[in-house]
A and B are shown apart, each in its own frame.
Chain A
Amino acid sequence: MFTRLKQNHRVLVLVVLGAILLLCLLIVPAFGGEPISPLDIVKVALNKLGLTNFSLSPAWEARNHESILFQIRLPRVVAGALVGAALAAAGVLFQGLLRNPMADPYIIGTSAGAAFGATIAMMLPISIAFLSFGLVSIAAFFGALGAVLLVYNLARVGGKTPIVSMLLAGFAVSAMLTAILFFMVTLSGRPGLLQNVFSFLMGSISVSGWNQIIIVAPLIIGGIVAARFLAFRLNALSLGEEGAAYLGINVERDKLTILALGSLLTGAAVCISGLVGFVGLVVPHAVRLVLGPDHRLLLPAAALSGGAFLVIADLFARTMLYPREIPLGILTAIIGAPFFIYLLRRTRREYAF
């Protein structure tokens, strides 16, 4: 059904996906409680680049569209794109590393660790901010990394960290942390805590202005670029640890690098959005079904697609029941699952992944 691409078509695919993402970034901010003309947005973008000097519609000045666009909508949309790209790239890394179709960025404890950290932060009676991030975000970030570090060390025996041990240790640590988390929530009796924990678990894009983005963007973009450099090693790891070693891969070193990179990307995403599910599982699979499993193409393509997908999902999250917001995790699943099932059914292959 889907034929594989020739080498020179691969660049084209990435250009098209990049253009789609860019288009999302320009068009999606138009929608919301106060509609902004998409034409104005494109004009402003060109004007800001110094290419043109278009005049804008009267509403632009009269209704304060400039600050709505640049201070509220655009940061949110860019944050969505970053989170989606980070989760999709992390999903590719974890699926490639663990050779497991069920793998996603949360599989070895990042989600439970992040939720654990965030819950503790919510229960603390103090409120501090660091580099414009609230305590909950910071605790979630370090919770995610801490949990992976714990899993990695638990699974490590005699200088080796077998993949299966890592999956099992990840499962155990996640179960443990989640149980303690809900035990704490049960005991605490603090009003609104359960509500807050629930919103963290379902995810939502929350940024105020550009300050957080300036910090997270280099982390995520740098992480994705670094991951792309590892793509050929992920390809070799598809043969399994022994097969990869025969091809000259330093398996233990690369496992750690990929794990660290995937966890960093996940942690960075989680501190903006909480736990947005489904993106990191399904976007890599969907892109793999269409473009094939070569990580040199898969990784950047999944990152761009994940970015666009989450921008669109977040658009529905904030506009569908306006002024109420729907948790983002609900929309990623509602939009993503049918699309994924459609792809799965179209490519009737025994080894679809």
Chain B
Amino acid sequence: MISLRQVSFSYSDTPVLHHIDLVVEKGEMVALLGPNGSGKTTVIKLLSGVLRPTAGEVHLDGSILSRLKRREVAQRVAVVPQQFSMPFAFTLREVVLLGRTPFHSLFSDGGQRDHRVVQQAIERIGIAALKERFFNELSGGERQKAILAMTLAQEPKILLLDEPTAHLDINHQVEILDLVKRLNREQGVTVIGAMHDLNMAALYFDRLLLLKEGRIFADGTPEKVLTAETIKEVFSASVQVTQHPITKSPHVIIAPGEAPPE
């Protein structure tokens, strides 16, 4: 279980989050939605512990996150960011191996178990054929899969995603989110993801959290959260919400220019 209790956060003098209360239980799959600047990414960074709340506390399995060591947190919580750049020619396998870092120490920085876990992670993501290729020569989608395999090698209980599909083609978006969903369903990994695409979020996530100006505006199932009214309120955009023909989840339809009269 991971939770924010009355968490506020400011970047120097600019307040970003105001008194957020949020509890995510083990095995949940939660999407954070909201316009740019609404605080999605900040929530992810607070949950991962790389940012500390200006006020309030983040709790991880009963401990206060900021009192844990960085590596203790990283043994339980992994983060898939939008993109990583690599200054050196690491191979895909070497990048995945970096996921073992939280389990290394000054006097033990690698062993047989690492290689087994890395191999499994690579196979689970289905990128075994690419493993000796250079990370920097992979396509955006392949890189994101490599990073997902890296976080898998971290054997996390909680997986945080920071717009993981932001710059990807739709086939890769679907593949990445399919993989994440399988991790959630099969391994019970808790997933919390900042998402840009409302429809993707509705398709893959069980619980949506709509942020507006640093506050939680709506929290619940996709049906409850994604309505024309809430979207109008939060994004100032006029949309229609229909049903996805296959999954029956809500589907947001955007019309160009001015919205047609109701």
Pick the contact of A243 from B71, B81, B136 — CB < 8 Å?
A: B81
Interface presence of A100 (CB below 8 A): yes
A330 to B102, CA, bound (A): 44
Query: Which B75-91 residues have a C-beta within 8 angstroms of A?
Result: 75, 78-79, 81, 84-91
- How far, in Å, is B128 (CB) from chain A's closest CB? 16
When distances are taken between beta carbons in the complex, the residues of chain B under 8 Å from A255 are none
**Which of A233, A248, A351 sits near B89, CB closer than 8 Å?**
A351
- Contact call B98/A350, Cβ cutoff below 8 A: no
Asked if A100 and B87 make an inter-chain contact with CB atoms under 8 angstroms apart, the answer reads yes
B91 engages A101 (CB within 8 Å): no
* A232 close to B70 (CB less than 8 A): no
Given B74, B81, B85, B87, which contacts A248 in the complex, CB threshold below 8 Å?
B74
Report which residue of A7, A246, A249 has the largest number of chain B beta carbons within 10 angstroms of its beta carbon: A246
B217 within 8 A of A: no
Indicate whether A235 reaches chain B with its CB closer than 8 angstroms.
yes
Asked if B98 contacts A246 (CB within 8 A), the reply is: no
B39 interfacial contact with A, CB 8 Å: no
Q: Which residues of A contact B134 (CB under 8 A)?
A: 349, 351
Contact A350 B137 (CB under 8 A): yes
| Cα–Cα distance between A113 and B68 once the two chains are bound (Å) | 39
Q: Which of B48, B106, B137 has the most CB of A within 10 A?
A: B106
B219 touches A (CB below 8 Å): no
B residues near A231, Cβ cutoff 8 Å = 109
Q: In the bound complex, what is the Cα–Cα distance between A100 and B71 (angstroms)?
A: 26
Q: Chain A residues with Cβ under 8 A from B137's Cβ?
A: 349-351
Is B89 in contact with A236, judged by CB distance below 8 angstroms? no
Sample (23) of A-B pairs whose CB atoms are under 8 Å apart: A233-B101, A235-B94, A235-B101, A238-B88, A238-B90, A242-B50, A242-B81, A243-B81, A245-B50, A247-B98, A247-B99, A247-B101, A247-B102, A248-B69, A248-B102, A250-B69, A288-B88, A288-B89, A292-B91, A349-B134, A349-B137, A350-B137, A351-B89
Seen from chain B, the residues whose Cβ lies within 8 Å of a Cβ on chain A are 12, 48, 50, 69-75, 78-79, 81, 84-91, 94, 98-99, 101-102, 104, 106-107, 109-110, 115, 132, 134, 136-137, 154
A-B pairs, top 7 by smallest CB distance, nearest first, are A248-B74, A248-B71, A293-B88, A248-B102, A232-B109, A247-B101, A351-B136
Q: Which residues of A contact B (CB under 8 A)?
A: 4, 7, 99-101, 158, 229-233, 235-236, 238-240, 242-243, 245-250, 288, 292-294, 296, 349-353
Beyond A247-B98, A248-B101, list 20 extra A-B contacts (CB 8 Å).
A4-B91, A229-B107, A232-B104, A235-B98, A236-B101, A238-B86, A238-B90, A243-B81, A245-B48, A246-B50, A246-B81, A247-B154, A248-B70, A248-B72, A249-B71, A288-B88, A292-B89, A294-B94, A349-B137, A350-B136
